[in-house]
Chains A and B, each alone.
Chain A
Amino acid sequence: SQKIEQNSEALNIQEGKTATLTCNYTNYSPAYLQWYRQDPGRGPVFLLLIRENEKEKRKERLKVTFDTTLKQSLFHITASQPADSATYLCALYQGGKLIFGQGTELSVKP
């Protein structure tokens, strides 16, 4: 069966550290993968997109890797800040639509 799995446990880290979130998938062949941020009671907001032929993408303090052999994407936030506290969603693009993971809640403590 097709599955997308993110760290189910909430991630608690200290301000200034690097947060690393994982997204694993099975039985998909996505053309690209996206990461979104979602704050409580709000809609998801796009952060980064990485294509199947790209290994790594960066944007400011954010970095995404994509390993199509391992069927895994890692999402890193360096020099994390309390304002980075939110739920982070990975999503695969397949068949004209996005398929989302369940999200990982990140809490950055000052």
Chain B
Amino acid sequence: DTGVSQDPRHKITKRGQNVTFRCDPISEHNRLYWYRQTLGQGPEFLTYFQNEAQLEKSRLLSDRFSAERPKGSFSTLEIQRTEQGDSAMYLCASIRLIGYRGQETQYFGPGTRLLVL
């Protein structure tokens, strides 16, 4: 257990439905990342937050995807109008940065596995 938790662990939904995932990082970690991983591939970067500010979004993140980190603690990732191609493992990771230094190891949660039928 890395200390990063994600909820739910598994989600099955029908095409067209909206889903929301939650990530709780390690408490003192100020940077939070979201990744998507499909079978046989490595994690692909989606977006990241420094405290509550969303600093970068990947081109993979279509306008159906939105992420928030309202108080700089937990984060949510919402997918609207899900498509079968959204089926994947969604991973969250966190680190603590002080200026440009700090921990470089990313601590990953267990992931949320999404299946869109």
| Chain A residues near B (Cβ < 8 Å) | 4, 32, 34, 36, 41-46, 49, 89, 91, 93, 95-103
Closest CB in chain A relative to B72 CB, distance in Å: 17
List the B side residues contacting A99 at CB < 8 Å.
Answer: 45
> CB distance A46 to B41 under 8 Å?
no
Distance between Cα atoms of A98 and B94 in the complex (Å): 12
Can you offer 23 A-B residue contacts whose CB atoms are under 8 A?
Answer: A4-B42, A32-B104, A34-B104, A36-B108, A41-B113, A42-B111, A43-B2, A43-B91, A43-B93, A43-B108, A44-B106, A46-B106, A93-B104, A96-B56, A97-B45, A97-B56, A98-B33, A100-B35, A100-B44, A101-B42, A103-B40, A103-B41, A103-B42
Interface size on B, residues (CB 8 A): 24
Q: Known contacts A42-B110, A43-B91, A45-B2; is A97 also within 8 Å of B48 by CB?
A: yes
Chain B residues in the interface with A (C-beta under 8 A): 2, 4, 33, 35, 40-45, 48, 55-56, 91, 93, 104-111, 113
- Contact call A89/B109, Cβ cutoff below 8 A: no
Contact A44 B33 (CB under 8 A): no
Are A46 and B107 also in contact (CB < 8 A) when A96-B56, A97-B33, A97-B48 are?
A: yes
